[in-house]
Structure 1
Amino acid sequence: MLPLALVLAFLLTPVLEIYVIIQVGQVIGGWPTVALLLAESLIGGWIVRREGRRAWRALTATFQRGDVPDRELADGALILVGGVLLLTPGFVTDVFGFLFVLPFTRPLVRRLLTRYAARRVRVAGARAGVFPPGLGDLGFGAPQAQPRPGGPVVRGEVVHDEDAPPTARS
C-alpha cells in the first residue's frame, strides 16, 4: 500500500503544484507569483540554515552529555526534509516544508510522525508474530525462546584432552 501511495504522490504532486501556481498567477499575476515563489525559497533557505545550526548544536550537546539523541535526530531529519520541500518550487511543498522547519510546528509534526511510526511497528510486529502484544510502548518485549531443531537433545559435557596426540586426518 505504501509504495502505491508514494508513486501516486510523486505523480500527483507536480500536477497539483502546477495547478496551484496557475491559480495564484491568475489572481495576483505572473511576475508577482514568480516573485512570491522566489521569496518563499529565500526565506525558507534562511530558516533551514538557522534551524539546522540550532539542531546541530543540540545534537552535539546531547552527545557530550552522553544521552540518546532521539529528539535531536528526528529534528535534524525533519529540517532536512523540510529544506528539500522548501527549495522545490511550488506552494504546496512550501507549506509542508515550513511545517517541518519552523520551530513551533516541528514538535507537532515530530509527535505525529512518532505515533505513526510506533503504530506501524506494532502492526508489523503483530502481523509477523515477532513481538508479544501489549508489551512496551512499541510492542517490544522480552526475547522469545528460539525453537529447537527437531530430534532428541543429548545433554553432555565437552572435555578437552590437551595431553592427547593430534589425530591424523585422512
Structure 2
Amino acid sequence: MLLGLFFLFTLVPLLELYLLIRLGTYVGAVDTIAIVIGTGIAGGLLAKSQGLAVLDRMRAELNQGRLPAESLLDGLLILIAGAMLVTPGLLTDGLGLLLLIPWSRQAIKSWLKRKMQEKISEGEIHISTHLP
C-alpha cells in the first residue's frame, strides 16, 4: 500500500513533468500550456455532461425501484476521470479520457467487478446488509 502511494504521489508527477517537458521541446511552451488548459476545460465539460446523464439514469432506476449499481460505478469512474482531466499532465489526461469513453469505461467496469468478486470469494471483502 505504501509503495502504491509512493508511486501515485511521487513517480506519476515526475513522469508527467518529464512528458510535458518533452512535449514542450517539440511544440513549444505556449502550445504545451494551451494543450494542458484545453484538455482540462474539454475534459471538465465532458465529465460534467456524462455525470449529469448518469445522475438522470440513477434517478430513473431508483424511481423504478431498482438499485443503480451500474450507474453508481459509472458515476465513480466519471468522477475519477474528471479529477484526472483537471490535473495537468498528458498521462492523467489520457487515462481520464479512457474513463470517459463509454466502451473503455465498460471494460474497466468489468475488470473492477471481476477483481471485487475475487476479493469477496477470497474473504478479503465482507458484505453485510442490515434490513429494517
TM tier relative to shorter chain: 0.7 to 0.9
C-alpha displacement of 1:117: 2.0
CA RMSD of aligned residues (A): 1.8
Specify the alignment match of 1:89 in structure 2: 88
Cross-structure match for 1:165: none
Contact 1:47–1:102 (CA under 8 A) maintained in structure 2:
no
Aligned to 2:77: 78
Residue 117 to residue 3, structure 1, CA distance change in 2 (3 Å): farther
| Letter matched to residue 116 of structure 2 | A
Higher relative contact order, chain-length normalized (CA < 8 Å, sep 6+): 2
Provide the rounded CA distance (Å) in 2 between the counterparts of 1:119 and 1:11: 29
CA distance in 1, matches of 2:63, 2:28: 52
Shift of 1:106: 1.4
Q: Partner amino acid for 1:102?
A: I
- Specify every segment of 5 or more residues in structure 1 that has no aligned partner in the other structure, as ranges: 131-139, 141-170
Query: Deviating runs (4+, > 6 A) in structure 1?
Result: none
CA distance in 1, matches of 2:2, 2:84: 20
How do residues 147-166 of structure 1 correspond to structure 2 at under 5 angstroms? none
For residues 83 and 47 of structure 1, the distance between their equivalents in structure 2, rounded to whole angstroms, comes to 8
Residue of structure 2 equivalent to 1:10: 9
Alignment of 1:20-35 (within 5 A): 20-35=19-34
* Partner SS state of residue 66, structure 2: coil
8 Å contact from structure 1 (residues 24, 33) kept in 2: yes
2: CA distance between counterparts of 1:98 and 1:38? 15
Label 1:61 to 1:90 Cα distance change in 2 as closer, same or farther (>3 A): same
Render the CA deviation track for 1:56-83: whole Å, top value 9, x for unaligned. 0000001001111110000010111110
1:78-157 equivalent positions in 2, closer than 5 A: 78-123=77-122, 125=123
Tell me how far apart the structure 2 counterparts of residues 83 and 58 of structure 1 sit (CA, whole Å): 19
Q: TM-score if structure 1 supplies the norm length?
A: 0.69
TM-score (norm 2): 0.88
Partner residue, 1:67:
66
- Measure the CA separation in 2 of the matches of 1:111 and 1:68: 18
> Sequence identity of aligned pairs in percent?
31
Which runs of 5 or more structure 2 residues have no equivalent in the other structure? 128-132
The aligned counterpart of 1:160 is none
Larger CA Rg, structure 1 vs 2? 1
Query: How many equivalent pairs are there?
Result: 127
